[in-house]
Structure 1
Amino acid sequence: MSDTSAPTYPGGFAAILTQMEGRRDPFTYEDGEALPPLDVDLAPLKLARVDGRALSVEGSKSTYARKLRELSQEFDGLPALMLLHGLLIAHLRRRTAPDHAGPLFLRLWAEESDWLLQRLDARWLVSAITTFGDHGATETQRRLGQSISVMFAMMKLYETERVYSGADPTRPFDWSKRKIPPLAMQMDAYALAAGGLDVNMLGRLWQDSDGDPVIAPLARHLLDLLIADDRTVFRRLRLMRQHREKAQKAEGIRPRRGHAAPSAHIPVPARAVARDPDTLRWGTVSLVKAPLARIAGFAAHHLDMGAHRLHIHLDEPHPEAAAFLSRHPGIEVTTCDATWWSGQKKPRMKAHQLRQAWVATQTYHRTDLDFLAHVDVDEFILSATALTPALANLPADIAAVHLPPAELLAGTTDRFKLTPHHAGQEKAVLEDIYPNFGGHLRGGFISHREGKLIVRCGIPGTRLGLHALLLNGHPASNRLALPDVILGHAHAPDWDTFQQHLAFRMTQGSYRKTDDEVLGLRDILELLRDEEGEAGLRSFFTEVCEGTDRLMQALDAHGMLVRAPLDLDQKIKRVFGAIPKG
């Protein structure tokens, strides 16, 4: 068993330097052995061919002769100038070298860069840029050479390690596996969607090469080779980013700042417009995985407020729930088991958000409802008046109704909080309402702030995301909110529920870090968990989520408190006759 407290290199940097310097002993020479002079004519060396036998040093035991024989075999039959280039690099890697070795190396690149770039492979070009870092004549040559050299050295280390993972270097990892252990040296992980570390590093190197005409051709050629190669971390991260953007586009969820698709007006055909409140029909679609009692409460609430049909999809088999819910004529229950997925056009997706979007879209295009709300099992449409007449009176060109979110305060069944934006308040009020954490909470919420939609059915070519109606990847701009109609979200109704879902939500749900956050919700929760354990998380939950007198008074003072009794038990009894167990 290894001692994890021991340094990576026993003996520390003293041992590292000893090992490094042991490989840098100067070359030894026998009589007649030497590098060509600084003013050597380079033209004949481009025409002469290397003899792999290295007859000029036959029988010599000097280290120079050993290196010459080694390089002669490598460049056998190739132009002698390539051999000279290799010899100069080999000399300049030693502690000392002939005085003219550095100037001759720089002369080769000043006079023959195009010729060298056409013939040297990438390995020798990287060696050349490293040599510029150690022996460049200008600050730009040394700085750029060292920077590019370190980058390629680190690539060699981690790409070698990747070989042992068995992973194909051209194949990106699965970005959906977001459980990332802490990085070394307390570094933040690269932000996959909008991270700029790669382009900032490569772009800076490209710009720096403008500062010196001798190193510029070599530096830019290497950087061009780098971004053209499909076996690098840069390409893999780019593919991961593209796959992620494609998946999120399909989901219609959590658009990132600066990366969201522009909204567009989605045409509404005349046949999709229902005007008669006596015949207009609306309902919901959901993919759920929850205890039967929770599903029953969700269903009873929406049936009680006038929904004509609930399309409930069970994300995994739940025979008791299927039997109980199916007894009501207004509920269509679908069990999304392996048999069901085998009949779909796509295999079962790993990400639950993708499954939700798929189920919602398929339902949207087959339902005979006039309006369909895509909501989760812990979300409740709240309306002060009947919803059907309001939908019937919508302007004909409106494709969707936006349901702004309101978070249920934990420990209550009738108190919800709004975001400052929805209440017409400035964002700064969050620090008054949540004195310890308000500065880092977007909207004061721990769940989504996008809200959900009730979409008009019968619009061809559209699909549903979690928070959007999409046409060709563009979310509908022709939507509006109805007065006093919101989405009550029982996201964390109590401490136990918060704890139970914490790990999942930090990696795959609403707590995960967004790419433009410096210090986001996930960072806060991780810090509290690591530093203070359960007590720290509990203090956060109490201040932000619990319906304490202090919080309700603060919300009420800013017009951000909503009273809307759910009365789920009573609704379940009215709709189903009895409250189910489980």
Structure 2
Amino acid sequence: MSDASAPTYPGGFAAILTQMEGRRDPFTYEDGEGLPPLDVDLAALKQARVDGRALEVDGSKSTYARKLRELSDEFDGMPALLLLHGLLVAHLRRRTAPDHAAPLFLRLWAEESDWLMQRLDARWLVSAATTFGDHGATETQRRLGQSLSVMFGMMKLYETERIHSGADPAQPFEWSRRKVPPLAMQMDAYALGAGGLDVNMLGRLWQDAGSDAVIAPLARRLLDLLIADDRTIFRRLRMMRQQREKAQKAEGIRPKRGHAAPSAHIPVPAKVVARDPATLRWGTVSLIKAPLPRIAAFAAHHLEMGAHRLHIHLDDPHPEAAAFLSRHPAIEVTICDAAWWAGQKKPRMKAHQLRQAWVATQTYHRTDLDFLAHVDVDEFILADAPLSPALAALPADIAAVHLPPAELLAGTTDRFKLTPRHAGQEKAVLEDIYPNFGGHLRGGFISHREGKMIARCGIPGVRFGLHALLLNGHPASNRMTLPDVILGHAHAPDWETFQSHLAFRMTQGSYRKTDEEVLGLRDILDLLHEEDGEEGLRSFFTEVCEGNDRLTRALEAHGMLVRAPLEADRKMMRIFGAIPKA
């Protein structure tokens, strides 16, 4: 067994530097040997041809002569300017070099970059970039040269190691769901679904190259060659991402992207703009799989708010719920059983998110309402005043109203928390409010932070996403929020609900890790469960979710607490005349 505490290189960096410097001894010369002067005629060297025998140093025992013979053999019969370029690169790798070596190298690339790039292979182009890193005339040349040198050097190391796996350089490993073991230096694994490490790295190099006219042709030529080569880590990871997306598509799951499509203005026809609050009609659409008391509480809340119709789709047959809800004339119940799906244009999707979006979109295009809110059974529109007057007063070009979320504090029915951004606070307050976990919680929420939409009905070609109104895949830019109108989200109203939904949410729901390489909620919950089991998860829930006095006071002190009593029992009695049993 290897000693994990021993350094990779015995002797540490003292030994590394000794070995490195041993390869950088300056060239030795005999009489008459050396580089041509700084003002050498480059045009003449492009016409002259290299003699592979290197007769001009015949019999010489200098290290310069040895290098000249080696390069003359490589460039035999080729233009002598290529030989000079090779000699300059070799000289500038040494500890010292003739004073004019670096200026002459830079002159070659300033005056003959196009010519050089047409004739030097990728190996020599990388060597040239490395030389810029050590001897560039500008900060950009040195920084970019060093960056390219490190990137290509690491590629050479890991591609060499990969050869011993037996896999062809162009063949990606098979993607599969597996637990990722800890990486070196406590790094998170690259996220195949939406990771941006590769494009961020390559994009920054490309942009940096554009700021220096001398190194730009070389750097961008190398980067073009890199993304065109099918034997690189970049190409293999893209192919593995495609494998992952194909597997998810077969399961009915649409993979999340690291960056949403840019928003766009959705045209609103004048004929769909309702201006009279007395006649304006709004409602909700939901795909629901929940016990009857929860569905009834959801329905009663929105009907008391003034909703004119609730389109409730039951994801599984629930005869008792259908019978109870259908007694109210403003509730339209649809049972989404096999017969219902057989009548749709698409078969039943495996992913519930896709079914939600499908049901909401189909309802949008057939409803006679003026506005339709796409909300879940655990989401409650909260407003201080009736919605109809506010919706009637919207500017005519507004396609949707955004409902920013507020997360219900567990164990309460009247206290909701906001994100720092919504409350006008800095992100740093999260570490004050949640001392152990705030640094890793996005917005301090465990549920979605995107909110939901109330869409203006009658706009052709649009569809509902989970959190947006879309036209040709682009979310509406012509949306707005209404003062004091938010979405109360009872995502984890108690410990039992949190615990019972945990496995699903970590693999297919809102807790799954899908984007940038950071410590996220999924990682926190995995670690807590692995280290401390249920007790660890309970400590997280207590600090982040429970509406205890400590959390209530902390949120209130930062203006991040909303008090809005749900009063579910009272509303159900008023709307239905009874409180259904589970």
Tell me the TM-score range normalised by the shorter chain.
0.5 to 0.7
Distance 1:93 1:147, change over 3 A: same
* Structure 1 equivalent of residue 336 of structure 2: 334
TM superposition shift of 1:489 = 1.4
Distance 1:228 1:4, change over 3 A: same
Distance 1:490 1:89, change over 3 A: same
TM superposition shift of 1:460 = 0.9
1:150 lines up with 2:150 in the alignment: yes
Distance 1:235 1:254, change over 3 A: closer
1:62-101 matches, cutoff 5 A: 71-93=71-93
1:33-432 matches, cutoff 5 A: 34=33, 37-38=36-37, 42-51=42-51, 71-93=71-93, 105=105, 108-109=108-109, 112-134=112-134, 145-157=145-157, 184-186=184-186, 199-200=203-204, 202-204=206-208, 206-207=210-211, 210=212, 217=214, 219-229=215-225, 230-231=227-228, 261=262, 264=265, 266-270=267-271, 273=274, 282-286=283-287, 294-304=290-300, 306=303, 308-312=309-313, 314=315, 321=317, 330-334=332-336, 344=346, 356-367=356-367, 371-381=371-381, 397=396, 399-412=399-412, 414-419=413-418
Q: Distance in 2 between matches of 1:102 and 1:394?
A: 70
The answer as to whether partners of 2:402 and 2:479 remain within 8 angstroms in 1 is: no
What is the percent sequence identity of the aligned residues?
56
Distance 1:392 1:101, change over 3 A: closer
1:547 lines up with 2:543 in the alignment: no
* Structure 1 equivalent of residue 246 of structure 2: none
Q: Distance in 2 between matches of 1:83 and 1:402?
A: 66
The answer as to whether partners of 2:122 and 2:222 remain within 8 angstroms in 1 is: no
Q: Distance in 2 between matches of 1:395 and 1:548?
A: 39
In structure 2, what residue type is equivalent to 1:284? Answer: V
> Which structure 2 segments of 5+ residues have no match?
242-252, 327-331
Q: Distance in 2 between matches of 1:434 and 1:393?
A: 39
Instruction: State which drifts further: 3-12 or 374-383.
Output: 3-12
After superposition, the C-alpha distances for 1:495-540 in whole angstroms (9 at most, x for unaligned) are 3444565687679765689999999878987998899887666445
Distance 1:528 1:91, change over 3 A: same
In structure 2, what residue type is equivalent to 1:566? Answer: A
1:373-522 matches, cutoff 5 A: 373-381=373-381, 397=396, 399-412=399-412, 414-419=413-418, 434=433, 436=435, 445-471=445-471, 473-475=474-476, 477=478, 481=482, 486-499=486-499
3-state SS of the aligned residue for 2:221? helix
User: TM-score w.r.t. structure 1 length?
Assistant: 0.67
Q: Distance in 2 between matches of 1:340 and 1:132?
A: 65
In structure 1, what residue type is equivalent to 2:286? Answer: V
Q: Distance in 1 between matches of 2:4 and 2:468?
A: 49
1:561 lines up with 2:537 in the alignment: no
3-state SS of the aligned residue for 1:560? strand
The answer as to whether partners of 2:432 and 2:438 remain within 8 angstroms in 1 is: no
The answer as to whether partners of 1:92 and 1:102 remain within 8 angstroms in 2 is: yes
In structure 2, what residue type is equivalent to 1:410? Answer: A
* Structure 2 equivalent of residue 246 of structure 1: none
3-state SS of the aligned residue for 1:447? coil
> Which structure 1 segments of 5+ residues have no match?
211-215, 242-249
* Structure 1 equivalent of residue 329 of structure 2: none
Distance 1:121 1:420, change over 3 A: closer
3-state SS of the aligned residue for 2:458? coil
Instruction: State which drifts further: 391-400 or 540-549.
Output: 391-400
3-state SS of the aligned residue for 2:89? helix
The answer as to whether partners of 1:262 and 1:474 remain within 8 angstroms in 2 is: yes
TM superposition shift of 1:128 = 2.2
Distance 1:282 1:166, change over 3 A: farther
* Structure 2 equivalent of residue 245 of structure 1: none
Aligned residues: 546
Distance 1:404 1:42, change over 3 A: closer
Q: Distance in 2 between matches of 1:539 and 1:51?
A: 77
User: TM-score w.r.t. structure 2 length?
Assistant: 0.67
The answer as to whether partners of 1:133 and 1:143 remain within 8 angstroms in 2 is: yes
Q: Distance in 1 between matches of 2:528 and 2:333?
A: 43
3-state SS of the aligned residue for 1:357? helix
TM superposition shift of 1:225 = 1.6
Q: Distance in 2 between matches of 1:99 and 1:384?
A: 78
3-state SS of the aligned residue for 1:89? helix
The answer as to whether partners of 1:297 and 1:568 remain within 8 angstroms in 2 is: no
3-state SS of the aligned residue for 1:380? strand
Q: Distance in 2 between matches of 1:192 and 1:285?
A: 32
Q: Distance in 2 between matches of 1:138 and 1:380?
A: 59
Q: Distance in 2 between matches of 1:103 and 1:470?
A: 57
The answer as to whether partners of 2:495 and 2:541 remain within 8 angstroms in 1 is: yes
3-state SS of the aligned residue for 1:563? coil
Q: Distance in 2 between matches of 1:427 and 1:102?
A: 50
After superposition, the C-alpha distances for 1:520-564 in whole angstroms (9 at most, x for unaligned) are 878987998899887666445324421224545676786722211
In structure 1, what residue type is equivalent to 2:414? Answer: R
In structure 1, what residue type is equivalent to 2:130? Answer: T
TM superposition shift of 1:157 = 3.9
